[in-house]
């Protein structure tokens, strides 16, 4: 019974390159959340998606960042032209329709640690 799977676990990019982070939610979950954890800080909400739709992106930087959750396949968080300040751990979480209605706790992945050199 696989949980939320994120890959890669570690990603190193040079400044100016693109980073693509993948998240496969728990099977059957249609709600995906992305959170970012900067060094020595707590997790901060970035974006909430529900199959093909962005529901809330209030925590997403306005430029260079985008997220998608296609009908088929994993959710992707894309960071274009990365800068050193993008170095962080990016966590994905998912929930089912029922869990979302009940406000049940999210299922978190182990994160992708992005390092920008």
Partner 1 sequence: AQSVTQLGSHVSVSEGALVLLRCNYSSSVPPYLFWYVQYPNQGLQLLLKYTTGATLVKGINGFEAEFKKSETSFHLTKPSAHMSDAAEYFCAVSRGMNTGFQKLVFGTGTRLLVSP
In the complex, the residues that contact partner 1 under the rule CB under 8 A are: 4, 9, 31, 33, 35, 40-45, 48, 55-56, 91, 93, 95, 100, 103-106, 108-111, 113
Residue number, 55 or 81, with CB nearest to partner 1: 55
CB of 22 to partner 1, least distance (A): 15
Cis check: omega of the bond before 8, within 30 degrees of 0:
yes
CB of 98 to partner 1, least distance (A): 13
Residue number, 111 or 116, with CB nearest to partner 1: 111
Residue number, 40 or 72, with CB nearest to partner 1: 40
- The secondary structure of the chain as a DSSP string is ----EEE-SEEEE-TT--EEEEEEPSTT--EEEEEEE-TTS-EEEEEEEETTEEEE-TTS-SSSEEEE--SSS-EEEEE-S--GGG-EEEEEEEE-HHHHHTTPPPEE---EEEEE-
CB of 58 to partner 1, least distance (A): 8
CB of 93 to partner 1, least distance (A): 8
């Amino acid at each position: 019974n696989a949980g939320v799977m994120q890959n890669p676990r570690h990603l190193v990019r040079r400044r100016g390159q693109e980073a693509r982070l993948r998240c496969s939610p728990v099977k059957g979950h249609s709600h995906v959340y992305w959170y970012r954890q900067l060094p020595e800080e707590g997790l901060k909400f970035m974006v909430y998606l529900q199959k093909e739709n962005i529901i809330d992106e209030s925590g997403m930087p306005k430029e260079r960042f985008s997220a998608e959750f296609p009908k088929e396949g994993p959710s992707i968080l894309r960071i274009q032209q990365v800068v050193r300040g993008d170095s962080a751990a990016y966590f994905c979480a998912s929930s089912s329709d029922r869990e979302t209605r009940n406000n049940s706790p999210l299922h978190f992945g182990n994160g992708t640690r992005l390092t920008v050199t």
